[in-house]
Structure 1
């Protein structure tokens, strides 16, 4: 069974993507690495068929930026050998995501387009749950529907099945303009 993960993007990255005209483009590539600023998807257990939801914390809210289904995970040093010329050009266009410490590349089919207008409703934020080998946990620092700190979202984390379903339904409604 496929899993759904979130990965936190910085506000600086989101501003750069917005200024670069990326809003509305489908997600097809994501980069991972060894540092907390660019966490490893492989270390988190991401596999083909899983879904990745990039998120942002801004103005005490969590925003869902888009979604991508993983086709394959490729080592950064081998990605040029594995892509068509067209796909390589697309990868280069999304180089803003790359940062300086990328060691892996997630490739996927066109996902939910990048958007900066999808704040998670406070009631959904309050019940979102992540799961790991140690058990389940809710997001820390949620007070009265506001997210007071992003620290518990930094990384690549697997959502519990019910939370994944709810967040995907929310994203689907927002992407459809509902």
Structure 2
């Protein structure tokens, strides 16, 4: 059974992606490495078929930015020779995600569109649970539905199945809502 993971993106990276017009883009590449600011997906136990949810913490709120299924994980130095030309072009498209010392490339089919406004509701934030070989743990530093510190999200962490399902449902609801809004704008001639 596939697992779901979170990976924390910095607010600086999210602002850069927003400024560069990546909102609504469907990620096909993610990058990992050995540095805490760009952690290793392989070391976290990520495998093909797993789902990655990029998240950010902004003003005590947890935002889920989207989701991407993992097809394969490649050594970065071999990506040029292992990727098909179309996929190599996608590698270049997602260059802003390459922050720090990159050692691996996570490749997948187009994921859920990036949405920088999707806030995890306080009640879900309080229930959010992660799992590891040591057992399950709740998200730390949650007070009154707010996340006071992001330290317990820094890295790549496997979600407990119930939390994974709820987080993914939130991503899909937001993606479907965005698609409905775009369709409505097209039908109404650009006005909503």
- TM bin, normalised by shorter chain, reads over 0.9
For 2:80 and 2:109, how far apart are their aligned partners in 1? Answer: 18
Structure 2 alignment gaps of length 5 or more:
179-192
For 2:48 and 2:94, how far apart are their aligned partners in 1? Answer: 20
Runs of 4+ in structure 1 deviating by more than 3 angstroms, as ranges, are: none
Max Rg structure? 2
User: Which stretch of structure 1 is more off in the superposition, 138-147 or 83-92?
Assistant: 83-92
Aligned to 1:171: 171
CA RMSD of aligned residues (A): 0.8
For 1:85 and 1:17, how far apart are their aligned partners in 2? Answer: 24
Deviations 1:146-178 (A, max 9, x none): 000000000000000011011111111111118
TM-score by length of 1: 0.98
Deviations 1:116-152 (A, max 9, x none): 1100000000000000000000010000000000000
For 2:65 and 2:177, how far apart are their aligned partners in 1? Answer: 14
Q: CA deviation at 1:113?
A: 0.8
Structure 1 alignment gaps of length 5 or more:
none
For 2:57 and 2:146, how far apart are their aligned partners in 1? Answer: 10
For 1:15 and 1:121, how far apart are their aligned partners in 2? Answer: 22
Count of aligned residue pairs for this structure pair: 178
Aligned to 2:3: 3
Deviations 1:47-69 (A, max 9, x none): 00000000000010100001000
TM-score by length of 2: 0.91
